[in-house]
Amino acid sequence: MKKLLLLFALFSAQFSFAQSQEKEILLEAEVNPEFPGGEDALYAFISKNVNYPNKEKENNITGKVIARFAIMSDGTVANIVILSQTPKAFNDEVIRVLKLMPKWKPGMQFGKPVAVYFTIPIVFNLEDPKPIKPLPNKSNDLNKIVGYVGLVCGCIIGILLFKLF
């Protein structure tokens, strides 16, 4: 009986550890998640499946829905959140389509699959209702700029020190 309880306790501890690991969702990974077939396939999927809500279409209402969701370590879509203030019908349609997506190739960190957030704007426009490219990850761009500034400052300091001595 003691062995059975110990085995159950070990299993429970491992299960809860695995659950807590999955709760951490990265903003960016070494290798970011990828939709099956790539970026063009993602836009084709969204364009094919998004339906313009009738009431908004009749009233010529347009909008851009910015949605954030997580691609979990098993490739499934979860934690869908609408970040923009748009008509509820647009938000509901975007959520519906995101839930239809097939499993993605998950993000990888240190050679292991991890959960990663993904943000995408979807434009509802009566003239050309196509999704636009994902929003760039600002932290990555900022890191590049800071790196260049540090490199330039380091070179200037090096030149000044060289001329002084």
Q: Which of 52-66, 99-113, 129-143 has the lowest mean pLDDT?
A: 129-143
Q: What is the DSSP letter of 126?
A: S
**Confidence tier at 109 by pLDDT (50, 70, 90):** very high
Which residues contact residue 134 at a Cβ distance below 8 angstroms, ignoring those fewer than 6 apart? 39, 118, 119, 120, 121
SS3 65: strand
Query: What pTM does this model have?
Result: 0.64
Q: What is the DSSP letter of 31?
A: B
The total of other beta-carbon atoms located within 10 Å of residue 81's CB is 12
Q: Pick from 129, 33, 14, 12: which is nearest to 78 by CA?
A: 33
Report the alpha-carbon distance of residue 114 to residue 129 in Å, rounded. Answer: 32
Q: What is the pLDDT of residues 14-69, one digit of tens each?
A: 333 333 345 689 999 999 999 999 999 999 999 999 999 999 999 999 999 999 99
Tokens 């934690």 sit on residue: 79
Residues 4-11, mean pLDDT to the nearest whole number: 34
Q: Please, what are the domains in the chain?
A: 24-125 (3.30.2420.10)
- Look at phi and psi of residue 37 and say left if phi exceeds 0, alpha if psi is from -120 to 50, else beta: left
- Look at phi and psi of residue 20 and say left if phi exceeds 0, alpha if psi is from -120 to 50, else beta: alpha
Q: What is the DSSP letter of 85?
A: -
